[in-house]
Amino acid sequence: EPNAAANEVIEGDGDMKVKKENLVIVYSDLDTVWLKDPFKYIQTELFGSNNKGGTQLKQQPNYDILAAVDDHNYNNVTDYYCTGYLAIAQTPASFAFLSQWEKGLQTNPQLNQPLFNSLLRSEEIPDIRHGGLGESEFPPGRLYFDEWEKLGGASNKLMKKKTMVVHNNYIIGHDAKKRKISGAWFVDEKITQMRDELIYC
C-alpha cells in the first residue's frame, strides 16, 4: 500500500546506519517472479549509467517514480502503469504523490491502479516525473505467459531473454498463480548484494 511505502521512507528504521534521504524504495507485489537481478537496471534508470560508488546520491534522480507498464493504450492512456512493481526515489514530489494516493484510497480502496495512473497525470502534482520500466525487462503476465508464448520457439526465447521480473497478474486465482510460477524463482548472493548497494549506498 502507498502509505506503507511512505511510512518506510518517512519514519525509517532506527537500526539503519544511513541517512533516510539516501533511500530508494522498490515495491513489488507477491505474485512477481524475479528471474534476474533488477537493481542495477533500476539504479541506472534513476541515476544514469556513469554513477559508481554511490555518486548518484550527489545528484537528483531522473525520475520520482518508475513503474511497470501494463498496457500501451488502456482507457486512452499511453503507458498505463501497473502498481505491482514500483521504484520510488525519495523526493518532495514522490512524497506529495504518495500522500495524495493514500488520501484517495481511503475513499476508494479498490481503485488502487486507476487512481495511481490518473493522479500521476493530474494537475495536483504537476512536477512529478514518472516513467515506465522496460517492457522486456519487466513484462506483464499478459505478454510473458500468453502473447510471447504464442510466438513460440526462438522468438519466444528472444523476447524473454531480457526479462528480470515478470508480474503474474495475467493468471487469476491464488492456486493458479502458484502453479504457474512454481519453481521459477532464482535468487543468489549477487542479487542480495546489489539490493543492499542500492538501498544502503
Q: What is the pLDDT of residues 25-84, one digit of tens each?
A: 999 988 888 889 999 999 999 988 755 555 445 568 999 999 999 888 777 778 899 999
Which helix (H) or strand (E) element contains residue 22?
Answer: none
Mean pLDDT confidence for 168-181: 56
Q: Is the pTM of this model over 0.75?
A: no
3-state SS, residue 174: helix
The three three-digit cell numbers of residue 54, written as one number: 554511490
β-bridge pairing 130-132 and 65-71: parallel
Q: How far is residue 109's CA from residue 86's CA, in Å, rounded to a whole number?
A: 18
